[in-house]
Chain A
């Protein structure tokens, strides 16, 4: 089963690294969408089918926490799994994110193995098909 992923980060460099990492981790991608902030991400989500959101926290215009809150308030978006990919190292903040429904957290810098591990946990081995 291939999946459609939305990568949300204000850094073009990071978006490219995540795309490369997903491919190195053999994640079967259907579509890969990108957005530079939370507002752009909401626009993508409202116009496309997305199976998984990978989002940074610290972004201009609309940050990751606000994006998650908007998704939680929208019946059509609240079921989409969200993984936070951030430099954040605070256990307190990570717990707060999980209380908002965030499914997993990947700290930057990351490895393809870490992505693979998290996505297998989230999506099951079915993503290998």
Chain B
């Protein structure tokens, strides 16, 4: 078990995105929020159980479309590309959250996860996500991804 959420995310997320989508995530250290993608969204999943909280991921929606294209052989220009891209982002978040919680709490506690939600974000929200001292930042094929675990008091 590891009690440092950022360290856990830095460990888990690259492994999940590679195994699930065949993309590679490199942790980025530096502190300043990376520039906002033109199609930025936040994907959020909440959990409850021994501890409760939320895992948020800031990412460009086009990266989700690329994941879906890799997984499904999808034409990125297809009419349903955006919907399938969001579906891929939700699944990535679901899988990442499950593994993050196991790394943080071990395999005894039972957690209930919500269905992940995808919503557009503006620059201020993107920057706020990136400025948390516990936010993990990544470069996925040169594009920024930010992830933060918030534990309820």
Contact = CB atoms under 8 A, between A and B. Distances in A.
A12 B110 CA distance: 26
Nearest to A89: B102
Given A13-B72, A13-B84, A88 B115 contact: no
Given A58-B113, A93-B110, A11 B90 contact: yes
A88 B16 contact: no
A99 interface: no
A61 B134 CA distance: 34
* Interface hub of B19, B88, B108, B110 (most chain A Cβ within 10 A): B110
A90 B16 contact: no
Nearest to B111: A90
B26 interface: no
In the A-B complex, the 6 residue pairs with the smallest Cβ-Cβ separation, listed nearest first, are A87-B98, A89-B102, A109-B19, A91-B107, A11-B91, A109-B20
B98 A108 contact: yes
B127 interface: no
Contacts of B115: 10, 58-60
B109 interface: yes
Contacts of A13: 67-68, 71-72, 84, 87-88, 91
Contacts of A29: none
The size class of the interface chain A forms with chain B is 20 to 34
Interface of B: 16, 19-20, 67-68, 71-72, 84, 87-88, 90-91, 94-95, 97-99, 101-102, 107-113, 115
Given A60-B115, A90-B111, A91-B107, A16 B72 contact: yes
A109 B113 contact: no
A17 B71 CA distance: 7
Interface of A: 10-14, 16-17, 58-60, 86-93, 96, 107-109
B64 to A, nearest CB: 10
A119 to B, nearest CB: 20
Nearest to A16: B72
Nearest to A90: B110
Contact of A16 (B67, B71, B94, B99): B71
* Interface hub of A11, A91, A96 (most chain B Cβ within 10 A): A11
Given A13-B68, A92-B108, A87 B90 contact: no
B16 A109 contact: yes
Given A12-B87, A58-B115, A109-B19, A87 B94 contact: yes
